[in-house]
Structure 1
C-alpha cells in the first residue's frame, strides 16, 4: 500500500480544503466582477444622461400641461418647488405650457406660497389656474348625510366614513379639468406632467420626458423620503403586477423589471408607477376614452380592499398595453432636500458597491424563500365581490391591497 490510512485522510483533508478555497475564491471573484459591472453601468448611465443634457441637443417641440395638487407642504414649495416650476415654464416657453395647481385646505403657509407662485407666473404671462381651497378635511368628513355621495363606507369603527382614494381621485381630476376644456376649444397638449411636492430639477424633467425615446404610456421617476427606502409603495407594481420584493435597491421580484433596473436603463418596464413625477401622453384624457382618476367601487372597498388612484389610472389606460409603463431610475426625486442629495452624490454612483452586493443577495434570498398570502387574500375577496352582482369586474386588481383607508382631520387613517 503506497499510502497509509493516516496519509490518505490527510490528503483528503487537503483536497477538501483546497476545493473549498477554490469555491470561495470563485464565489468572491464572480460576485466582485458582477458588482463592478453593475456599478459601472449605474455611473455610466447617469454620466451619459448629464452629457446628453449638457450637449445642448435640440429637443422636439412639445406642449406640456403641468398638473399638481398640494396639501400642507409650504416648506418644499418655498424652498424648491416654486422656483423649479418657474424654470420649467421658462425652459418650454409660456406658449407651450399650462400650469394647473389645486391646493386643498392646508393649514400651513401653502396657500401663500402658491399665491406667490401665481404672481410670478403672471409676470411671465404663463397660462395657468392656481386654485386654493378653504375646504379642510374636517369639512369633508363632516358633510351632512344628504350631501354624501359615492366614496362613503361603513367601517369597523361603527361609522360611515369618507374613503381617502375617492377624495384624492376627485382632486386629481380637478387638476386636469382645464386640459379637457382647452381641448374642446382646440388648444391641445402633447404630454401631461404630474408633479408631486418633491425636490426636482429641470434636467430631471427633461430626462423623464426622454424615457424610452419618448415612447410610453407613462414614465415615472423614483421617489425618496428616507433613502435608501423608496417612497411610493402603494402605486409601484413590477412587470408581473406584483408589489416590490424589497423597499431598497433593486426593489423588484419580476425578472424583466429587476434586470432592467440592475442594468440602469432609462426604461424599466412596470405595470404601474407614480413615484414623485409622472409624464403621460395627453391624448387618452381628451379623446373619446376620457381617461380619469378613480377609486375602486365602494362595494369592493367594503371587502377591506383598496387601490391607489395613481395605480388604477394605468389599469384603465389602453396605451399601457401598447406603449408600456416605465420607471426611470436615472430620475430620482426627494420629498425633502436631504433625500434628494443622498440619491445624487457628486462624482459617484448613488448605489454603493456594498449596497449592490447586499441588495442582489437579499433580493435573491427573498425571491427564493418569501411566501405570502397577500395575493390570495385579494383574489378571494375580489372573487366574492364578483359573485355579488353581474358585471362586477375590476381591471386594476393588481393595484389592490388588504387595507381600508379613510380621511381624517389631520390626514388619513387605516381602519
Structure 2
C-alpha cells in the first residue's frame, strides 16, 4: 500500500539507495570472506583438473548427467571464488519458487558437510574424488568439512590424514577427528550412533563463533556417489523448499530378478507413515507417492535418510540446538533409529517438508555402485506427465515403528507398533 503513495521520483531514489546499501554490504561481506582464506590456494583448486570416480564416467551415467544439468539448472549454485559472482536470474527464480530469497543466489550459500567413517578404506578414495569436484563447484569459501572417525582397523586413518593434507593445499576449511577408541564392551547401538553423529556436528558452534553460519547441512554416510547426485539434492532442497532432502539407497543382488533393492527400510516412512518396501517400483501404496515414484519425480515423505540428507540448518542453531539422540528411556517412546528420531524432532519443531528424490541412488559397496546404470537408463526413458513441484500435504497421525532396546545388538528386537511421533501437530505449510 505504501508503494502507491510514494512519488515516482522518490521511489527511484529509494531503490537506488537500497541497491547501494546492498552492494556495499555485499562488498564488505565478500572482502571479509576472501580475507579468511589464502587466495592463492583457492585459485589453485580452480586451475587444476579433477577426475571423476570411474563409476561416474560410464556411458549411461554421462547421459544421466546431461539430463540432470538440463536448462543449466545448477548454474546458480556454481561459485566464482575469487571474482564477482554472476547475477544469476535463473537461480533467483528457482529460489523464489522454492520459497527462498532471490538475493541468496547472488550471495551464494554455505555448506557444512558432516561425515562419519569407520573401516572405510574401500569408499574413501572415491568419496575424495567426488567431494573435491563438489568443493570446486561450490567454491572453497563456501565449504566446511567435518569428519569423525574412531576405531578403524584398516587404512581409513592413513587415508584421512592424507586427505587432510590435500585439503590444506587449497585452504579448504575442515575438522577431522580420528580417535583410537571403538565401541564399548556394552553399548546401545542407537545411543552410540547418535553420539558419533553428533561429534561430526560439533564444529557448527565453533564456526558460528567465528561468524560463519551455514545455509545447508549435508550429512553423509559412507556412500558411493557422484558430484551431480549431491547437486541435484541441493537443487531440490531449494526448489521444493524442503527441510530434509535425500536420495534412495540400495544394495544389489545380481542373481535376483530385481537386481537393485531399497536398503533403508528401518528409517524411511511414506507420507502415510508406512514403512518403505524393498522393491523400488512398490515403495509405497500412497497414491500420489506411487505416481510420482513411477515417474521418478521427488515425493513427500514423513521420514527418510537413505545415505545422505540435505538439512535445513535452522533447528541445529536454536538455543536448544537439535541433535541426534536415542529414545527417551522410561517414557514409552518407540526405540527407533537415531535418524527416525531426528525426523520426529524436526516435526515437533515445525520443520516438516521432507522429500525423497528417486532419481538419485547411492550405495555402500563398490560392487553395488556399478549396477546403478540400470536405474539411469530407466529414468532417461520415463515419460513424465506430472509437475516436478511437490504439493505438500499434512503428515500422518501415526507412524509405523520397530524398536531396538537390547544392548549389544544391531537389529530391531521389539514388536511392530503404530505410534504417535509429534506433540505439536502434523500440519505442513
Partner SS for 2:370 = helix
CA contact (8 A) 1:406 1:413 kept: no
Post-superposition Cα deviations, 1:83-126, rounded to whole Å, max 9, x if no partner, equal 22222222212211100000121111111111111111111111
CA contact (8 A) 2:346 2:352 kept: no
Shift of 1:319: 8.4
Matches within 5 A, 1:16-415: 48-52=67-71, 57-59=75-77, 60=105, 61-78=108-125, 80-137=126-183, 140-141=184-185, 161-211=186-236, 213=239, 215-226=241-252, 227-265=259-297, 267-299=298-330, 305-318=334-347, 324-345=353-374, 348-349=377-378, 398=399, 400-407=401-408, 412=410
Shift of 1:223: 0.8
Q: Which moved more, 1:224-233 or 1:292-301?
A: 292-301
**Cα pair distance change 1:184/1:317, threshold 3 Å:** farther
CA RMSD in angstroms comes to 2.9
Kindly name which structure, 1 or 2, has the bigger radius of gyration based on alpha carbons.
1
CA distance in 2, matches of 1:218, 1:206: 14
- State the number of aligned residues: 302
CA distance in 1, matches of 2:269, 2:68: 25
CA distance in 2, matches of 1:193, 1:399: 26
Partner SS for 1:58 = helix
CA distance in 2, matches of 1:221, 1:346: 13
Q: Which has the higher helix share?
A: 1
TM-score (normalised: structure 1): 0.66
Post-superposition Cα deviations, 1:196-229, rounded to whole Å, max 9, x if no partner, equal 1111111111101011505101000111122411
CA distance in 1, matches of 2:197, 2:220: 11
**Cα pair distance change 1:347/1:235, threshold 3 Å:** closer
CA distance in 2, matches of 1:396, 1:76: 39
CA distance in 2, matches of 1:396, 1:315: 12
CA distance in 2, matches of 1:127, 1:347: 34
User: What runs of 5+ residues in structure 2 fail to find an aligned partner?
Assistant: 1-62, 78-104, 253-258, 383-395, 414-429
**Cα pair distance change 1:101/1:45, threshold 3 Å:** closer
User: What runs of 5+ residues in structure 1 fail to find an aligned partner?
Assistant: 1-43, 142-160, 354-394
Shift of 1:289: 4.7
- Of structures 1 and 2, the one scoring higher in RCO (CA 8 A, sep 6+) is 1
Partner SS for 1:189 = coil
Partner SS for 1:200 = coil
Post-superposition Cα deviations, 1:247-299, rounded to whole Å, max 9, x if no partner, equal 4323112223222212221x210000100111012111012351111110233
Matches within 5 A, 1:8-19: none
CA contact (8 A) 1:66 1:194 kept: yes
CA contact (8 A) 2:64 2:376 kept: no
